[in-house]
Chains A and B, each alone.
Chain A
Amino acid sequence: MNQKDNFIKGFFKENPLFVTVLGTCPALAITKSLENAIGMGIAVFFVLVLSNLIISLLTINPKMKEFIKPVRIPVYIVVIATLVTIVEMVMHAYLPALFVSLGVFIPLIVVNCIILGRAEAFASDNKPVDSIIDGMGMALGYTMALMLISLVREILGSASITIWGDLALDITPVFTFIGIQPISMFLQPVGAFLTFGFILATLAAITNKKSAKLATEVKQS
């Protein structure tokens, strides 16, 4: 596999949120605004890239790999928890507003299945450079998925798009032009489940159509 495929696979083919359905808790909880999704994405990017790098360095020597095999899960968890603590402290110091709105979900990055999953499935069997690229692709794919969910929820729920801090787009005029009101239900838990469910169903419909097309092509040839 070349580096480009390695990077791209996190976006579509193996998207952690939409294809393997990992890391769903933050995807439902913090996607009330685009700003939250971007903040969460940055935190996950930092932790995932560095944890992939450290774990692939730890297991680069076959002897070392054999040595930590029986205790590998606790070792991975300590590495990840250390990185998450760094993120928590930096965010608390420099981005206090975001720190408050993400709340308990920053320390909970430790138990985000994506990070432990990549450590176990990819970083422990691959070279450091490959692992970094895999981590970047996966984290950006996850961020993209979070942004998609939060875009739908924020536009329908509060008729605005908050990109970062005061940099926000108010689209109430569009809503009044069409003659509808923002639906506050989309900012509540109900909206999170509904949005995620409908996005997954749309993606499944697209995949079904593609595979049906492929099947008829194979039959004809």
Chain B
Amino acid sequence: MSIGALISLAFTALIIENVILTQFLGICPFLGVSKKRSSALGMGMAVVAVIVISSIITYVLYHGVLAPLEIEYMRTIVFILVIAALVQMVELVVKKISPALYKALGIYLPLITTNCAVLGVAIININKEFNFIQMLVYSTFVSLGFLLVIYLFSMLREKIDSAPVPKAFKGTPIALIVAAILAMIFSRFGGLI
């Protein structure tokens, strides 16, 4: 695996196949927790941490335990349990080590268990038959893509709050239309590679 191929994989994961705008994973937090810049940043960083750690654990579990025992069909159950346990553990560790960080991220952590991006990335890593390095690069940049888009989107939403939006479009509808315009911009980056 050359460095060039890894860079192209990273760019694809970050922008071209952006996890929110083209794969539609993690739409619930994208719409729900993007009203303020600070909360979007907190949610995004919590997602980055959980996706990277859970991808490593689920990858090792799949290739170390499930595949040798030929019980691959158990992967959905095993992965979601790993993610739920991991989220609880991250919450405890962050609470113990850094109360300040816990205050910033604490309320977003329990929500991450039902964020489809986490389970989605774990399953995509297996489906695309990545090796360990590729998996590491892919899951890091996919989650950074989540952080990038949710942060950009929260800035746009803060502006929209003060704009004269028609009554019927207030709230979620206008947010979805702004997301459509963002998706249009991101889909054009495909020509770069």
Q: Does B15 contact A (CB under 8 A)?
A: no
Given A202-B168, A204-B173: A25 in contact with B24 (beta carbons within 8 A): yes
B173 touches A201 (CB 8 A): yes
Size band of the B side of the interface?
35 or more
Which residues of B approach A to under 8 Å, CB–CB? 21-28, 31, 73-77, 80-81, 84, 113-116, 118-120, 123-124, 127, 166-177, 179-181, 183-184, 187
Given A77-B80, A85-B74, A111-B116: A25 in contact with B180 (beta carbons within 8 A): no
Given A107-B119, A201-B168, A204-B170: A85 in contact with B76 (beta carbons within 8 A): yes
B contacts with A: majority SS: helix
Binding-face segment, A33-41, A132-140, A191-199: A191-199
Chain A neighbourhood of B174, CB < 8 A: 197, 201
Docked complex Cα distance between A200 and B176 (Å): 9
B127 touches A21 (CB 8 A): no
B168 touches A208 (CB 8 A): yes
By Cβ-Cβ distance, the 6 closest A-B pairs, closest first, are A197-B176, A193-B180, A205-B168, A29-B24, A201-B173, A81-B77
Given A107-B119, A208-B167: A28 in contact with B177 (beta carbons within 8 A): no
Mask: chain A, 182-196; 1 = CB below 8 Å from B; 0 = not: 000000111111101
A193 touches B177 (CB 8 A): yes
Which residues of A approach B to under 8 Å, CB–CB? 21-22, 24-26, 28-29, 73-74, 77-78, 81-82, 84-85, 88-89, 104, 107-108, 110-113, 116, 188-194, 196-198, 200-202, 204-205, 208
Given contacts A29-B23, A193-B176, 6 further A-B contacts (CB under 8 A): A85-B77, A108-B120, A110-B76, A111-B80, A111-B115, A196-B176
Docked complex Cα distance between A204 and B173 (Å): 9
Q: List 19 A-B contacts (CB under 8 A).
A: A26-B24, A74-B81, A77-B84, A78-B81, A104-B127, A107-B75, A108-B25, A108-B119, A108-B123, A190-B187, A193-B176, A194-B176, A194-B180, A200-B172, A201-B168, A201-B174, A202-B168, A204-B167, A205-B167
Chain B neighbourhood of A193, CB < 8 A: 176-177, 179-180, 183
